Structures are given as structure tokens and as C-alpha cells.
Chain A
């Protein structure tokens, strides 16, 4: 979505620039869109910032918002809501510390490499330092909450849904697309069927999977009996509940990866593959050396789009588990909604703003580190 790159914007202008009427007619094409974005994205975003720094109080004749500074954020990050948002910190074992040390070393190496190899700019260095600190805190959060006695909060759970979900969706989507791109009878049928889950409302998907994971009257009950899991409820254990949500998310969004990768595979030029066959390459070599690199630009865009959308997850956890057991399966959007329903409007906006911060950081990091590199190489 990095539209700001390659400039192929109309080298030719339809009509040479004329008087003011001309400017007006060109502006009128874009103006409605600009106004809508201003009034429904930019202004609300600014107001939201204010709301996130205030507390709703009941006053005479209604409610009013009182400015409380950063109190709502403090509550989430260090205050009473910390265990819900960030999670409960345990004491990591030696392995945990080892992982942390490795991450820190890797980040330090990355910064040093940047300083040594390229021309250092102030913005570039500052940006990389911020990203490094951000990555380090995520690693710290992961290690601390997953350690003994710890419990992940909504921030970590959201990231878990996003990253594990996308990794599986991409791998599955690529496998299915590769298989469907072959000349086999019935592939038209498969591609239509594989597309379906994406069309179904996530609310419906959530209900479907609630039936699927029911161990006593669900359709898979005989299987659970065989496995001796008849009395285990998927949605009562934090990890199986997260698993159920992850599975339904994968079921729903693998098609997105699948259809685009399939279209990309079918539009690849055939000459390099023919040449490779003539040279005696086997299928795996062709896939790894020719197909996969050619798919890289599409893949990075796809992953970026899914990443942005996946952070907004709310329907699946809300219906499958209502965020439970406890708050184990709550995503950040869902937490924001629950807090809003408890009339803590400021707290809700603060959660939303932190989500915005995380998404922006992650998307920027991805854009800078992955996509730019891919574009340079191919």
C-alpha cells in the first residue's frame, strides 16, 4: 500500500493548465474524498486523543468530560489495568533470559550495521532506535508474560492472533494456490470453494466454530471421545480458547491469501520456468528459485494488508469466548469495547490509541525493513 513509491502518475496532462475554473474542476474530483476523510478520520482521531485524556463524569443534566492528562494511559501501562492490558509478569527461567539476550544482541547488531554501512541520517537513526526499543519491549513483554506465574494481556494476545494467524494463512494459502495453479481437472471447483470462507461474516464464522469445538454435542464429538477429551471444554482453558479463535481466523482468511497468490501464480511469465526445465531443474528447485522470488512483491503487500486488518479483530473473540476465560482471549479492540460498555469512555479511547500506536509502529517497521528491501532486489 506504499503508494508513495514508483511515480507513474500521468506523465501527460489531459489539458494544459488553464484558469481557475480548471483548477476547480480537477479539485472537485478529489474534494469529496478529502472532506470525508477529514470529518470521519482525522477530526475524530484528534477528538479521540482528547477523550483518551479525560474521564467521563456524571454532572447535573448529563455527562461531562474532565481532562485528566495521561491518567488513562498510566492506568493501562502501570496502574490497575496493567494485568489486563500488558499481562501479569512472571519470573523467566534461564531460557527466557537467553532469548531476551539474543534479541537485544540482534537489535544492537542491526543498529551498528546501519551506522557502519550506509550514510547515516538523523531521522533514519532516530527511527531505527525507536523501532529497536519498540521491538525490545515486545520481546520483553513476551518473555515476562509467558514465564512461570505470568499471564499474557490483551496487547500480547492481539499480536499473537495477528502473527501466528498470518503465518499460517500465508503458508496454507501459498500451498493451496500452488496446487490449484496446476493443470488438473476440477480446479475451477476448488478455487470457488476455497474462496467461500472470506465472504462469510466473522460473526457467523464464530458461531460455526462454537458448534465445531463443542465436545459433547458438536459434530466432532465422536473424535473427542476417542481422544478422551469429551469433558474438556475448549473455551475454558486459555490456550485452547485462543487456539479456537486462531483456527477460525485462519479458516476465514486463508482464502484471501489463496486467491491473490493464485492470480499472481497464473500471471507469472512462463519462459524462465521453461528454461529451467530445459536445464533439468526439478519442481522444488523451480519453486524455490523462480516462483517464490517472483511472488515476493505480491506476498509482502498481501501480508501488510492482512496485518493491518488483523489488528482490528473483535467479532471472533467476542462471540466465541466473550473474551474469556477471564480476559485470556480478549483482543485490544474487544477490550476497548468492553471498557466503553462499562462507561469508561476515556479508558476505552486510551486502549484504542495504544492500538493505533502499535499498528502504526508495526506497519512502519514492516514498510521500512521488509518492503523496501524487496523492492530494491526485484
Chain B
């Protein structure tokens, strides 16, 4: 990425009037961004009576701050719940992010470097067999039989008809297919996923959420990382191949280290998505594996809005991501740009 050269600085430094307008707009938006956060911050130090009797703005000046809400959430009655939900959020978000980074970058690398030629006939046969299974299920054939018939027909088709069709798809088609999964609204797939985890007895557990988040975020990783891998020169990998390194080794010890900036940006994005995810967590968890967004949202229903507790919960929830954003802001912008330009 090229930044403005210093010699051109005068070109991009506005004249006094422009400078004034610029600052007015920027400071206005800064206030718009920071004021709600500030309000949440001071609310977390208020007593219920102070919240209910009208707006007070500045601690120590027009109200006496108290730590009661922090006390209650972190060490009091709610401490166990809070800790468990925090742990759930941390475990689910980080594990799913690490997993999706591994699986997604591997796929992205494959799509950037190798040629895949899945037979069109095979895919058509596969889709037809799956559809047949669904139709059989509708016709009340037991599911096991339905699947068995579907698989058997698919194998037969593979061995006979498919071999005659030579048209195949390319990498771009596969990549498009993967990335386009992001278009899917989560709510369109959540019911079957719910039923699936119910059958597997995994509802309200970490694995259920982790697997679901991996699937939901996979398109982002494939999309951003594929573009990133394409910008890395291929020569180093060729050298490694000549030296006898296997593909896995080349990927792990040469390509991934080269792609660290892209990996960091993608990691951050996916982590924030997983950290804040609401819909899947709402459907798939009850009490044990409940994550913070769901529990914060539920505060509303159970006891009416208790702003002081809510503020504390939201604050402890956003603190880690805010810190990361401040530290890694530059990486995020650049990583996203690579994806948006190449699109």
C-alpha cells in the first residue's frame, strides 16, 4: 500500500477554512461515537435512584459514583453466571476462529495454487441423490433407508453415467460457491442445524456453537485469504518443492508466515463476528453454553432494563475487542482492502 509522499503533503493539507470545517465535522462525529460509550460508562457507576431520577452527566460533580453494579456482576450474586458466560464466549470465539482460520486458509491456498476439476456430472448426480433422499423423507420412508438409497444410487451413477460427461468446473466456480454461502441468512439454516445438534445431543454445548461459527465464517476467510495468497510470489514455494518439501510443509512453514498480515486482519474480523454473534447462540444455547450477547439480551426480558448492570456487562464484553481494535487498526483496514479491491 502506498501512502502519500511527504513531498506532496502540501497538496493534501487543507487551507485554514477547509481545516476548520474538517475539524468541526470530525469532532462532531467523534462526539457522536464516544458519547454513547461515555454514557454507558458513567451509567455503570450509578445507583438505580440516580438513573431513574433523570440524567446526570459527570461523576463526582452531579452524582456520587458507586461500584455497586460492578460488585454485583463481578463478585456478587451474578458472578458465577457472568464468569461462565464470559468463559463460554472466550472459548467459543477463539476456538472457532482458530479452526476456521486453519480450514479456511488451507482451502484458500488450495484454490489459489492448485487446479481443481470436479466433474460437473458428479455434482449433478450428487445433488439429484440428495434431493431424492429428501423426497423419500417427505414420502415417509425412514431416514436411514432414504440415505442408504441415495448413497447407493450416487455410487452407481459415479461408476456408470458420470464417466461419460467430461465437463468440469474450475477453481473460480468453487471459490464463488464457497464465498456465496455468506449470502445465506443464518435463520434459513438454523432450524435444521438445531435438529441436527439435538439428534447428536450437542445442543447447548461448546462444540455445537464452535462448528456452527466455523461454517458461518468460512466464506469470509476463503474470500480474504485467497486474494492474499494470490499476491504472494510463487517462487519460494517452487524452491521448497524442488528441495523436496511436501505440500503441507510448504504451506505451513513458508506460505503461512508470509501471509501474516492478511492472517491477522482476517483473524480479527472473524473473531469480532464470532464474539458478537447473536442469532445462532440464541437458537442453539440455553443455560450452559450461553454466550454474553444472548445473556445480555435476556436481561431485558427477565427483570426489565436495569441499566446499571447492563452497562457493566456490555462494558466488560466490549473491552477486549476494543483494545484489539485500537492496537491492530491498521492491519484491519489493509486486509479488508485487499479483498474489496480484488473482490
Contact = CB atoms under 8 A, between A and B. Distances in A.
A207 B329 contact: no
Contacts of A267: 1-2, 337
B212 interface: yes
Interface in B95-129: 103-104, 106-107, 109-116
B29 interface: yes
B293 A333 contact: no
B60 interface: no
A70 interface: no
B175 to A, nearest CB: 4
A193 B30 contact: yes
A94 B57 CA distance: 50
Given A197-B33, A267-B2, A336-B187, A9 B278 contact: no
A19 interface: no
Contacts of A251: 32-33, 36
Interface in A51-70: 51, 67
A51 B191 contact: yes
Interface string B331-342: 011101101111
A365 interface: no
Interface residues on A, range: 35 or more
Interface string A353-371: 1011001100100000001
Nearest to B15: A283
A183 B36 contact: no
A315 B278 contact: yes
Contact of A301 (B51, B104, B322, B340): B340
Given A180-B26, A195-B332, A41 B181 contact: yes
B247 A29 contact: yes
Contacts of B33: 193-194, 196-197, 251
| A interface majority secondary structure | helix
| B interface majority secondary structure | helix
A208 B282 contact: no
A226 interface: no
Interface string A198-238: 11111110011111100011111110000000000000000
B4 A263 contact: no
A94 B321 CA distance: 52
B14 A363 contact: no
B179 A14 contact: no
B211 interface: yes
A128 interface: no
Given A1-B223, A29-B107, A199 B322 contact: yes
Contacts of B52: 217
A233 B112 CA distance: 54
B40 interface: yes
Interface of A: 1-10, 12-15, 25-27, 29-30, 32-34, 36-37, 39-51, 67, 172, 175-176, 179-184, 190-204, 207-212, 216-222, 251, 259-260, 262-264, 266-267, 269-270, 273-274, 277, 283, 297-298, 300-302, 305, 308, 311-312, 314-315, 318-319, 332-333, 336-337, 340, 345, 348-349, 351-353, 355-356, 359-360, 363, 371
8 contacts: A14-B250, A29-B106, A176-B29, A183-B4, A191-B329, A202-B276, A315-B279, A352-B191
Given A37-B181, A263-B337, A333-B186, 5 more contacts: A12-B238, A44-B193, A203-B296, A211-B40, A211-B43
